[in-house]
Structure 1
Amino acid sequence: MDVKSLYTLIAAADCGSFAEASTQLGLSLSAVSLQLRALEDEIGITLFDRRSRPPQLTEEGRDFVSRAREVIAHWEALSESLSRDPARGVLRVGAVHTAVASSVPAALRRLQSERPEVSVRLTTGLSHDLEERLRRRTLDCAIVTEAAPGDSDLISHRVCSEPLVLIAHRDIKGRDVTKILASEPYVRFSRQARVARLIDGELQRRKIAVNSRMEIDTLEAVVSLVRQRLGVSIVPAASAGSGFPEDIRVRSFGSPPVLRHLAVSLRGDCPKRHLVAPLIEALRGVYADVAAA
């Protein structure tokens, strides 16, 4: 039994199909199927019921996957501890789209400059999806909208707080945020995004009814729709990015401002904590530079 087969098994279990696992692992579908069949022959257990489509884990298979995760966790920790140069390695990072649109590129440039021996594999997604990938050990850390206290079993390191702002095309008249939201079409962040729930909660608290026409999950797309005069929106201020285009008007949303907290989350037993730490410092440094500018 080799470690690669265990990684393949865990990917197939997490993805729910051999085809998706092959895409995630960069292998052919036949290679995944052959690896899993060979593993079953070696351990004498039927891991998947191949009569269903896609194949489903058997009860024995689910038990074995749980043990395989433990083996992989110990193997990764041992591999890191025996590394000749513990500063080197590949860091698998997840990030919400809004962070990639603002702080993450500058932080990665800083990390690359200060720690050129560290390679980064970046994945984007929604906060809850990235946190689930942390639990499945397919990510080492994730830059997410911070969960409410007690809502997560993961370790969280806050890196910044971004105020929510109203954005509208410069042709939209008026300064009253409430009136603008009530009178203009509203471009909404995907309801599955944690930041969207924060925004919706504040709208409900202030009893502001919006006419939601469109729903989308990236900051760039929201800004693009607003620039095309398709509506107004509430978004986290891109404080560490290049700011909003000149034809976008920005108004504070709330007094005091409503804040979206960004944090780096990781498992308590993450074997690459020593690589996550400089990323956290790079992110905090980027925001500190912006605040001081």
Structure 2
Amino acid sequence: MDIRQLKTFIAIAEHGTFAKAADAVGLTPSAVSQQVQALESEVRAELFDRSTRPITLNSQGLQMLEAAQGLVRSADDIVDAISGRAIGGTFTIGSVRSSALSLIPRAITELKKDFPDLKIKLHVANSDELLNDVVTGRLDSAMVAEYSGVHSSLRWSPFLREPLFAIAPKGTRPRPAEEMLSDLPYVKFVSRFPLAHIIETEVARSGIVTNVIAEIDTITSVVACVVHGLGASIVPWSALKETSGEVVAVPFGAPQIYRQLGLVERRTSPRAAVIDKLHGYLVSFSGDYGVAR
């Protein structure tokens, strides 16, 4: 098995036929066929369902595809690091569904200017999946909240420490968060994310008695409910950047509660230079709440 075989195999999976894959990798269809036969012989399994037209990957082929993509990416990263050539290949970043997710596209836009030969992909999932994908190499880095379950092979670097605010519909009389949340119907953020736990822990500690009118699993939807007058809620600073003047916001917690977001990466990542640049842009876009490395 060599990298050329794996790249050819990936091309077949992406283009659907041996002929199209041959054009993509600069080989003849017969050479592509020979590489596939050699690969299947080495792994001692057929990788395609040849009864369909066009052919498709079978279960072993799908398993092989995931491994091949990781191996090819790692090989390209190592060559880039050793040779000093312009960084290319694919950089895959993950992110939780966070109100701060809007920072990632802005950072990616700037990153593409620094690394024009680099193809960048964004994958959104939950924290556990993202952390596992970084450990296994399916992701180069991921944006996750401060998390106690980070594997020892990973490094988590915060880029944002943002305060939480109690918010209410426009026109609401400003008053302490405890009063506002007790007096108005409560739009509750419900999820597995650490943010939901932080909020509910402080609500309980403060002795706030809420009248829950809705339970919502995304911060964006929570803010929309408040903007349209459904009730009050608690959200981080990043959720309020686009709602200036649409809600009344007061600090939540005594002292005010903060949460942190950061980038997680493998401690020996060959994409360290790219991740460092990405982190810098995220810090910059976080304004006063950015956390430098």
- TM-score in terms of structure 2 length: 0.70
Q: Gapped runs of 5+ residues in structure 1?
A: 9-24, 29-35, 48-54
**Structure 2 match to 1:273:** 272
For 1:95 and 1:130, locate their aligned partners in 2 and report how far apart those are by CA, in whole Å.
7
**Structure 2 match to 1:140:** 140
Cα deviation per residue 1:256-286 (whole Å; 9 max; x = unaligned)? 2211111111112322112111111111222
Instruction: Confirm or deny: 8 A CA contact 1:76 1:271 kept in the other structure.
Output: no
> Structure 1 69/114 Cα, relative in aligned 2: closer, same or farther at 3 Å?
closer
Q: Gapped runs of 5+ residues in structure 2?
A: 17-35, 48-57
How many residues of Structure 1 are paired with residues of Structure 2 in the alignment? 260
Secondary structure (helix, strand or coil) at the match of 2:122 reads strand
Instruction: Confirm or deny: 8 A CA contact 2:6 2:68 kept in the other structure.
Output: no
- Counterpart of 2:204, as a letter, is Q
**Structure 2 match to 1:75:** 75
For 2:212 and 2:9, locate their aligned partners in 1 and report how far apart those are by CA, in whole Å.
46
For 1:174 and 1:184, locate their aligned partners in 2 and report how far apart those are by CA, in whole Å.
12
- Counterpart of 2:6, as a letter, is V
**Structure 1 match to 2:284:** 285
Identity %: 26
**Structure 2 match to 1:204:** 204
Choose the corresponding residue for 2:6, options 3, 8, 17.
3
**Structure 2 match to 1:165:** 165
> Structure 1 146/75 Cα, relative in aligned 2: closer, same or farther at 3 Å?
same
Instruction: Confirm or deny: 8 A CA contact 1:118 1:275 kept in the other structure.
Output: no
For 2:75 and 2:115, locate their aligned partners in 1 and report how far apart those are by CA, in whole Å.
25
> Structure 1 271/198 Cα, relative in aligned 2: closer, same or farther at 3 Å?
same
> What is the alpha-carbon root mean square deviation over aligned residues?
4.1
Cα deviation per residue 1:76-124 (whole Å; 9 max; x = unaligned)? 55343355624344321112332223x3344334334444444421222
Secondary structure (helix, strand or coil) at the match of 2:238 reads coil
After superposing the two structures, state which structure 1 stretch, 229-238 or 258-267, moved more.
Answer: 229-238
- TM-score in terms of structure 1 length: 0.70
Secondary structure (helix, strand or coil) at the match of 1:201 reads helix
For 1:125 and 1:197, locate their aligned partners in 2 and report how far apart those are by CA, in whole Å.
18
Aligned pairs for 1:35-54 within 5 A: 42-44=42-44
Cα deviation per residue 1:189-219 (whole Å; 9 max; x = unaligned)? 3421121122122222223343334333433
> Structure 1 65/166 Cα, relative in aligned 2: closer, same or farther at 3 Å?
same
- Work out which of the two has the higher radius of gyration on C-alpha atoms and give 1 or 2: 2
Q: Which runs of 4+ in 1 moved over 6 A?
A: 5-8, 36-40, 64-70
For 2:81 and 2:9, locate their aligned partners in 1 and report how far apart those are by CA, in whole Å.
21
**Structure 2 match to 1:22:** none
After superposing the two structures, state which structure 1 stretch, 122-131 or 190-199, moved more.
Answer: 122-131
